Amino acid sequence: MQSELLDRSYHFLNFLPNVSDFLVQKHKESGLKVDEKSLYNLVTEADLKAESMILDEIQKNYPGDGILSEERGKIEGKSGYTWVVDPLDGTTNYTHGLPLYGVSVGVVETDTMTPLIGMVFFPELNTYYHAIRGQGAFREKTPIQVSRTSSLKDSLFVTGFPYDRNLSLDTLMQYYKSILQKSRGIRRTGAATLDLCWLAEGKFEGYYELGLKPWDMAAAGLIVLEAKGRITSMDGNDFSILIPSLLATNGLVHEYLLAEFEGQINRVVY
């Protein structure tokens, strides 16, 4: 298995700069075609082309692998590996000319959906993060770890809001107020993969969000775990990319946050 993971990781760490270059070039052009999948949930021609580039590369080089991607859905495989792909995380940022967006590619074990490889490229931040299960987390070639801050008052947090946030706005604001009152602050980048990667290298102490999808978590979630962070659902259950509630921390403030969320999880946004 290890050699198979190394091969897939090495291949895509060398391929994904092509996708990054395409997204940067497309971002410079005027007249980007944008459609609404639902309220607040956008898709652009750049999302679709980037996804095609990634999926074509997977199917050409690893034809037995399965695929789960944001725009094209699920493609069954027989190898025991499934690629989980978000070709453009942070589409709203992208459409507004912001550089806070990423390309996320992960590989999971098909039967258990356990993350095995994580790679996230941030084209206009000129950096990338990656991990293989059991081998640590890296920003480019440099090992990274979560912060060692242990108190809420000294911690900086980050969050995001689900697309159907109007269904549970009061609950979301309750979470926000609860954490904001006891910490240094809360940020929102608009890209879950960026939140998790910045947590993994110690910029944030914790990240929480409801309404996530597997492609939001598969690659960047593994990077956090390999950076010695901790991940559960917001109600304390074991991490699964199939559970759309995520609490990721440096481990030292995790129990404090679970206590803040206890009894408040609003499953409407699932």
Q: Into which CATH architecture does domain 152-263 fall?
A: 3-Layer(aba) Sandwich (3.40)
Q: Is 88 annotated as a binding residue?
A: yes
Give the percent of the chain with pLDDT over 90.
Answer: 74
270 has a pLDDT exceeding 60: no
Per-residue pLDDT of 184-207, as tens digits, reads 999 999 999 999 999 999 999 999
Would you tell me how many other CB atoms lie within 10 Å of the CB of residue 141? 6
35 has a pLDDT exceeding 80: no
Longest dimension (CA), the chain: 51
Q: Is 152 annotated as a binding residue?
A: no
Q: Is 65 annotated as a binding residue?
A: no
Q: Please state, in angstroms and rounded to a whole number, the distance separating the CA atoms of residues 7 and 107.
A: 12
Among the ranges given (88-97, 123-132, 165-174, 218-227), the one the predictor scored with the smallest mean pLDDT: 165-174
How confident is residue 168, by pLDDT bands cut at 50, 70 and 90? low
- CATH number belonging to domain 1-143: 3.30.540.10
Residues of the chain with CATH 3.30.540.10: 1-143
Residues of the chain with CATH 3.40.190.80: 152-263
85 has a pLDDT exceeding 50: yes
- List of residues 6+ apart from 187 with CB closer than 8 A: 156, 157, 158, 159, 204
Q: Is 255 annotated as a binding residue?
A: no
How confident is residue 128, by pLDDT bands cut at 50, 70 and 90? very high
How confident is residue 268, by pLDDT bands cut at 50, 70 and 90? very low
Rounded to an integer, the average pLDDT of 251-260 is: 94
Name the average pLDDT for the chain.
91
Q: Is 56 annotated as a binding residue?
A: no
Instruction: Report the pLDDT value the prediction gives residue 40, as an integer from 0 to 100.
Output: 52
- List of residues 6+ apart from 244 with CB closer than 8 A: 210, 211, 212, 213, 269, 270
Q: Please state, in angstroms and rounded to a whole number, the distance separating the CA atoms of residues 8 and 1.
A: 11
- DSSP category for residue 152: G
Per-residue pLDDT of 57-80, as tens digits, reads 999 999 999 999 988 889 999 999
How confident is residue 269, by pLDDT bands cut at 50, 70 and 90? very low
